[in-house]
Amino acid sequence: MEAAGSAGGSGAPGASFRFSPRPNRAHLVRWRPWGEEAFAEARRVDRPVALFITAFWCGFCQRLDETALSDEEAITLLNGLYVPVRLEEAERPDVDVRYNQAGAWPAIVLLTPGGVQLAGVHYVPADEFASLLVRALDFYQRNRAWLAESESRGAAGMRQDLPEEPAPLSAAIADEVAGMLEGLADAEFGGFGAELKMLHPEANDFLLHLYETTGESWCLEHVLVTLRRLRASATYDRQDGGFYRYSSRRDWQEPHPEKLLADQAALLANYLHAFRLSGAGEMRRAAEELIAYMDGVLGALDPPFFYGCQDYVGFDGGDGGRRSFLDTHLYCDANARAASAYFDAWRVLGAAACRDRGAALVEALWLRFRSPDGGVYHYWDGAPAVPGLLQDAVAAGAALAGAYETNGDAASLERARELAAYVLDRHRAPGGGFYDIASPGPDRLATRLRLLSQNAAAARFFLRLHGLTGEEGYREAAAWALRPFPNSHRAQGAFAAGFGHAVSLLASA
């Protein structure tokens, strides 16, 4: 997607919004950035908020820019009768998780100035979009009193129901999650599930851990099948390198054309781990190819950092080809995971260049992304933005711990401990778990959430520090992170793998 600053009068000096790389008029909407200022404006002028959550790589988001958001009537309605807010899910995962529970983009949410939802949809054709805006506005104007009463009752907020007295943590939970994965495993094509196939590197990681600790041969065998099938399929890009994000078919032959840094880093760790356990040369070659792709494409222009994503757009220009473009944002969590995977490459392959780049990357992250409150910022786009996300502090801390394990750098361990102290101080939730954000924000961000995947990662970070320092407090923090989630993991499917892995590590710590 292409960026536009204050094009069309964004309503926010210096704000930058990115639109489809194909011709469109979406920049003519006077977009506001997410924040309290947008809701304050909506209250002041008594207009609904039109929240648009997009993804850099999302084809339907690009199509929305080119069609519905280029329609003259829709532009006029948004500018004259709404307060339009636009953000990207990768920039604001904390907003995305609260307004886009379906995890599909674009997410369009129409809200009262006080946050009561009027409508929520995903992609809308151009001939229906203006009608949706008119109908939602009409409902708001005719039901102001009732909606205001709903706001006063707290209907605009959100709640998270986790058990006050969850089931005890035990190795049996890890066994249950392993059984869930075995039931979801596709023995023919690898991966998990029978239809749409996500990469699920966290599930591969858990199965490889189980093979190491229990000797269960099916765990290693399934990961090897998955990684072989992936590399032999259309989900692996033989032209540019790297793996696409998911496939619409179970045989991996219908991929969607985005390649995210976080996925490449996680799959690199998978291939390295599988090579270490199996000695299979094809696992090593795949790892080396991934390193070449990450260095040569995502990491070529601003070393030691890696860009966030490579995406493609096909054009009807007569050549039948495709155009590649990069998300040039630098994301803290994804870069930290890349550094961790590069440290793995040094340990498994003896790749000194990976060790050196990983060390330079964690140092650069610390210097560029550290926030005044002791945490880290989420992304960099010419300046750091969005401090206070648990996922960034945990990923950066884990990478710093990896730097210490790799180089014996005492400063890296001390920095990891500083981030652990920050998480304990700013994110710890009463009753168990850690909140995803350090401080409440506007509207639904007034409720801080305890998310299973993020708490599983936090638990593994604390257990790693426990192993490095011997301090029992870190083991207790890991148990605290996992405490709210027994039983709730059952609705997560293969996404529960990280939780099962963390519980297994805790049981043996």
Among residues 7, 12, 19, 133, the alpha carbon closest in space to that of 77 is found at 133
pLDDT 10s digits, 303-350: 999 999 999 987 433 345 688 999 999 999 999 999 999 999 999 999
What separation in angstroms does the CA of 413 have from each of 154, 337, 457? Answer: 44, 16, 18
The helix (H) or strand (E) run that includes residue 232 is helix 217-232
- Cα dihedral: 330, 333, 334, 335 (round 10): 60
Per-residue pLDDT at 316? 39
Q: Are strands 83-88 and 49-54 parallel, antiparallel or unpaired?
A: parallel
- Cα dihedral: 425, 430, 431, 433 (round 10): -40
Per-residue pLDDT at 16? 84
Residues of the chain predicted below pLDDT 50? 5-14, 315-319
Taking the model in full, what pTM does it have? 0.95
Neighbours of 308 (CB within 10 A): 23
Per-residue pLDDT at 15? 60
Measured over the CA atoms of residue 312, residue 317, residue 321 and residue 324, the dihedral's sign is negative
Alpha-carbon gap, residue 230 to 236, rounded angstroms: 6
The helix (H) or strand (E) run that includes residue 437 is none
Per-residue pLDDT at 195? 85
Paired with 113 in beta bridges are none
Alpha-carbon gap, residue 499 to 465, rounded angstroms: 18
**Look-up: residue for tokens 């959100």?**
158
List helix spans (H) across 384-469: 390-407, 410-426, 452-469
The rounded Cα 139 to chain-centroid distance in angstroms is: 34
Alpha-carbon gap, residue 317 to 269, rounded angstroms: 39
Which domains can be identified in the chain, with CATH numbers? 2-152 (3.40.30.10), 168-328 (1.50.10.10)
Per-residue pLDDT at 315? 42
Alpha-carbon gap, residue 231 to 238, rounded angstroms: 9
Alpha-carbon gap, residue 157 to 111, rounded angstroms: 11
Per-residue pLDDT at 160? 72
The b/e string for 370-380 (b: 16+ C-beta within 10 A; e otherwise) is bbeebbbbbbb
**Helices 452-469 & 410-426 angle (0-180, nearest 10):** 140
Q: What is the DSSP letter of 370?
A: B
**Helices 281-293 & 261-278 angle (0-180, nearest 10):** 160
Find all residues with CB under 8 Å of 161, minimum gap 6, and list them: none
